[in-house]
Amino acid sequence: MSNCHGSHAHGNCKPTGLCPIVTFPEVVNIDEIRDEAPEVKTFYMSFLNKDVEREFRIKSGQFIMCTVFGAGEFAVSLPPSPENDRFHISVRAVGKVTHALHALKPGDKLGVRGPFGNGFPFEEIKGKNIIYVAGGIGLIPLRSSIVHALQHREDFGRIILLYGARSSRDLMYQPDIQIWKQNAGFETFITIDRPEAGWDGEVGYVHQLIDKANVPIDNSVAFVCGPPVMFNSVIGEFLKRGMSEDAIVSTLERQMKCGIGKCQHCAIGRTLVCTDGPVYTYRQIKTLGEQI
């Protein structure tokens, strides 16, 4: 990421690099709120400053710092595609600030800084198969990439989603998944942990879907995001089948405070997740070891 800390909207950033467009909170209006899953809501927003809105550009895998006025600021993944998608965030209520966010209504205001981070390596993976593997809310940081890949379907081979959650109620973006399924060549395999009344899909854990989907290993990249138990089992299965550590990509979650590498709060060894990440290959993640 570039060290430029200016704003595109004010002409202070050079056209190269991934410098953040907003370094001080810009006010956004909450236009719509949707319930996604238990304790998870999606907030659709628009910038009050339309010059900033026109200039705001994201890359799949990046994040923003979101301010709930009077409560605090937190880092959150960006689920919208970089193009032709409504600006939104999906957030689970887990602490003081996110519970304050969940208490808001359409018409209320938030602050937004960013976008920050390196993003997914789309230029490097053209021509490859993409396997998305998500557990629960792990689909949030992958959504942007999925939509972007489908918008550029001709650039990739097979696109496969392996997705699991504790129950059918915990599955994210269910209307989106139904739309994605209509794309030629998009393959979806979904499972829940335990049987439940009315569920006629797969039952079990996400890593068990790898064989069912006949996942290709050669000329493939896997984007994996979910809780540690799921992550470790999925990675183990891919490595057993011969997938390269460099072909497995994930995002690291840390307690980001500044987003621009100044406060060092998100440091893991010599890496700063807010600027060097949050997207890393498994080879990179492995070298960080127990520091994660």
Which residues are documented as binding site for [2Fe-2S] cluster? 258, 263, 266, 274
Binding residues: 258, 263, 266, 274
How many helices (H) and strands (E) would you count in the chain?
Answer: 8, 15
**Rounded Cα–Cα distance for residues 35 and 272 (Å):** 33
**Rounded Cα–Cα distance for residues 258 and 194 (Å):** 40
Measured CA angle at 131 (ends 207, 44), to 5 deg? 100
Tokens of 202: 């797969």
DSSP states of 50-72: HHHHHH----TT-EEEEEETTTE
Tokens of 103: 């208490």
Q: Which conformational region is residue 276 in: left (phi greater than 0), alpha (psi within -120 to 50 degrees), or beta? A: alpha
Q: Which residue has the tokens 């994660």?
A: 292
